Structure 1
Amino acid sequence: MYGPITRETLAELLKEQNPPCLSIYMPTHRSFPERTQDPIRFKNLVRELRASLEKQFPDAPSDTLLKPFEELVDDRDFWNHTRDGVAVLGGQDYFKVYPLQRKVPELAIVNSHPYLKPLLRIAQSADRYQILCLSRNQVRLFEGNRDVLDEVELAPEVPRTQDEALGSELTPKDQIGNTNGYGGASERGDPMIHGSGGSGKQEQIDIDCERFFRAVDRAISEHHSKPSGLPLILAALPENQTVFRHVSHNQQLLPQGISIGQGALDTEMLRQESWKLMEPTYIERLNSILDQYGESRGQGLASDQLEEIGKATAESRVAMLLVEADRQIPGLLDRESGELHPSKPAGAETADVLDELITYVMEHGGDVVVVPRDRMPCKTGAAAVYRF
């Protein structure tokens, strides 16, 4: 039921076009006593969903559709381990819960498709990344952004230790030595001691280390990096950095890493150091997107007028859509003509023009970028770059 936010997440949700679709977003709290109010607020949003569902779809099986939402209200374990927000999406054939590392607006929406804009902003944000913390005896993975860092539960296929990865093929532990000829004390951040026991034994132990790192690299790439599409920062001692990078084929692995041993691992320090690496990339990507819009507008291949964007969307001409974060414009999009029909806010039954555009553009192969309000190139809420 609970899942990470990946590119596949959005692709699967885009396929859910069997109304009614129910969407709840709300900020949550990590600490006590603030988090005790979260299930109460969620219960109130579920009530809003029910009222809107019965109004818009009076023949729908409302009790069945709302049952998993109502069961979540009483899930104490879930509410005791929340992060900064939550997205809960459900329909006739699905129910998904996504704990989020960002605050999101409090929303309860019934529509013909899942409401995706807050989720999209998280999925495509350029400041998200993962950190692989690696030693011979421990593997940990973190995911975060500029503000927060959380440990990720490793896929079962990821080996946690050399013993687990190599099993009976591991060199016996009574053979003294360590990677690159250094003693195990260095993994704790202690002074490195050159191993003894003969070059043959040491060579075999170095080979074991390479084989372990290869297994970790394959599993992390297949089960975490590829599904998420996130940049990967390696946090490890310099000698382990060298070995891992030599054997790695992970396309998401960044050339810069953080030189740190597991014994010195501090999550807040790790977040600060990782954001120093990520911030230039984030700024560069956003500036590149805005420059592309400016150049296209100068060529007559861009617009910030919602009516024009709607018609271009219906004609499959939108290559990239920029949408203002945290903004809603009540109304509907006619998918045949692209005409926009504004409406007055009326609660959970009110559709959002921007979310309608997002869904339609993505279905037609266009890219969507959710941009902070202070970086949007216009005041209309959306801007588009056209294919022709």
Structure 2
Amino acid sequence: MDVSWVTPSILAELRRPREYPAVSLVLPVHRAQPEKAQDPIRLRNLVARARKQAEDDPEVTHSRRIDLQKHLDAAIEELEWEREQMSGEGLVLHVAPGEHHTWLLPQPVTEQVVFGTTFLTRNLVAATSMLEPYWALVLAEKPSRLWDGSPLWLREVTEGRFPIAAQGQEGEAPLKGGIGVRPSPLREERLRRFFEAVDEALGQVLNGRRRPVFLVGMQSHLHRMREVTRHRDVLADPETDTDAAGFEKASAAELAAVLRTAWERAHARRVQAALEALDAARGEKRYAGGLEEAWNLVSEGRGRHLVVDETYRVAARVDGEHVEVIGADGEIRPDARGTVVQDAVDELVERQLEHSGEVTFVPSGAIDGTGLALSLRY
């Protein structure tokens, strides 16, 4: 199942404590050949690692081991590799006695096998934070088209008035001319009215579904749309605009590559805003750096915004509200009591979400070498 189906209630259910072991398998996958041909083999190897760890773990009983293997086999059998790989770059399997879940993610992940009393959800949290859907408005006279998009999907909108074409004076024929036509007051006025009509149609779609809107089209059309729109608050930053003609005839696959670039620019701005907010919090003495310093503050509900290096993983010993980092993730075996946590960063993310705090994952090395930082509510 792709991660666009994940809701807060699903995340809460996945974070629910389970009978040991709750096993999380994380695997990078590929969208294209030749790399994607190796993904099923790499998954089988990852599953073999999980089975070996279960066999070597004295706290996993024989009956739980058999049940675990059954659900590992079922999860693999349900995967449709051709479809899954075309639309994602990460795969997460959650397997425990009596259940299994598979998730396709839009972003690259680090290969892992994690045993614990809860499922690993940090990758899902990171993915859902990246999956804020957007609208893409392709501006052209013949016609303007609207697309419903995210890093995982792109679908044309055909509801309401879209696609919408420029009309002549009688409301039937398209405006004469096109690229290279000499501007005239009459034509400029008709173009202005046309883009006002596009903006009105956009407003009808935005009603109740306000999202960032990326613009694609010739520079003159981009300028005109920004000039007449009544929805400046949802138009993405001008630096995400795509100045190009001809995309009114493009397929979803052709347009997706262009919009991926626009989305990456917008995502980079969101990351930068999160880092700047951390700097402001530091200056106001509302800042905590590192896992051990942030742990109690998050548990008390004081965390406003947790910013995490996407590659930062450590194991820790948890004793009540006290946490002690004891090694790199993967080097420490967890226990059935939950006192040794294989990915303590995941545990911290879960606690932050349980207190309605915000979480943002940022590129490796962006947080002063501490791995994570927290701005405080008070």
* TM-score normalised by structure 2 residue count: 0.70
Q: For 2:122 and 2:83, how far apart are their aligned partners in 1?
A: 24
Correspondences of 1:109-120 after superposition (within 5 Å): 109-120=114-125
Select 1:360's aligned residue among 344, 351, 354. Answer: 351
Q: For 1:276 and 1:368, how far apart are their aligned partners in 2?
A: 18
Question: Would the aligned equivalents of 2:274 and 2:360 in 1 still touch at CA under 8 Å?
Answer: no
C-alpha deviation, 1:333, in angstroms: 3.2
C-alpha deviation, 1:38, in angstroms: 0.5
Correspondences of 1:1-388 after superposition (within 5 Å): 1-4=1-4, 9=7, 12-16=10-14, 17-19=16-18, 21-52=22-53, 55=57, 57-58=60-61, 59-60=63-64, 61-63=67-69, 65-72=71-78, 75-78=80-83, 81-89=86-94, 95-100=101-106, 102-124=107-129, 130=134, 132-135=136-139, 136=143, 138-144=145-151, 152-154=153-155, 158-159=157-158, 162=161, 176-178=172-174, 182-183=175-176, 186=178, 191=181, 212-218=201-207, 221=209, 225=211, 231-237=212-218, 238-239=220-221, 242=224, 252-254=234-236, 256=238, 257-263=241-247, 267=255, 270=258, 274=262, 278=266, 281-282=269-270, 284-296=272-284, 299=285, 301-304=286-289, 306-334=291-319, 336-340=320-324, 342=326, 345-346=331-332, 351-379=342-370, 381-388=371-378
Render the CA deviation track for 1:111-164: whole Å, top value 9, x for unaligned: 3333133343444469x88460435363334445xxxxx7x2338xx4268478
Closer, same or farther: CA 131–245 of 1 in aligned 2, 3 Å: farther
C-alpha deviation, 1:255, in angstroms: 5.4
SS at match of 2:25: strand
Q: Percent identity?
A: 16
* TM-score normalised by structure 1 residue count: 0.69
Question: Would the aligned equivalents of 1:22 and 1:109 in 2 still touch at CA under 8 Å?
Answer: yes
Question: Would the aligned equivalents of 1:133 and 1:235 in 2 still touch at CA under 8 Å?
Answer: yes
SS at match of 2:76: helix
Render the CA deviation track for 1:185-205: whole Å, top value 9, x for unaligned: 64xx574899x9xx9x99999
Question: Would the aligned equivalents of 2:93 and 2:101 in 1 still touch at CA under 8 Å?
Answer: yes
C-alpha deviation, 1:176, in angstroms: 2.9
Aligned-partner residue type, residue 368 of structure 2: P
Closer, same or farther: CA 348–134 of 1 in aligned 2, 3 Å: farther
Q: Which residue of 2 aligns with 1:168?
A: none
Number of residues of Structure 1 aligned to a counterpart in Structure 2: 350
C-alpha deviation, 1:263, in angstroms: 3.8
Question: Would the aligned equivalents of 1:27 and 1:85 in 2 still touch at CA under 8 Å?
Answer: yes
Give the gaps of 5 or more residues in structure 2. Answer: 336-340
SS at match of 1:370: strand
CA RMSD of aligned residues (A): 4.7
Render the CA deviation track for 1:335-375: whole Å, top value 9, x for unaligned: x4233373672468762111111111221223333333422
SS at match of 1:358: helix
Give the gaps of 5 or more residues in structure 1. Answer: 145-149, 166-170, 226-230
C-alpha deviation, 1:98, in angstroms: 1.9
Q: For 2:280 and 2:287, how far apart are their aligned partners in 1?
A: 10
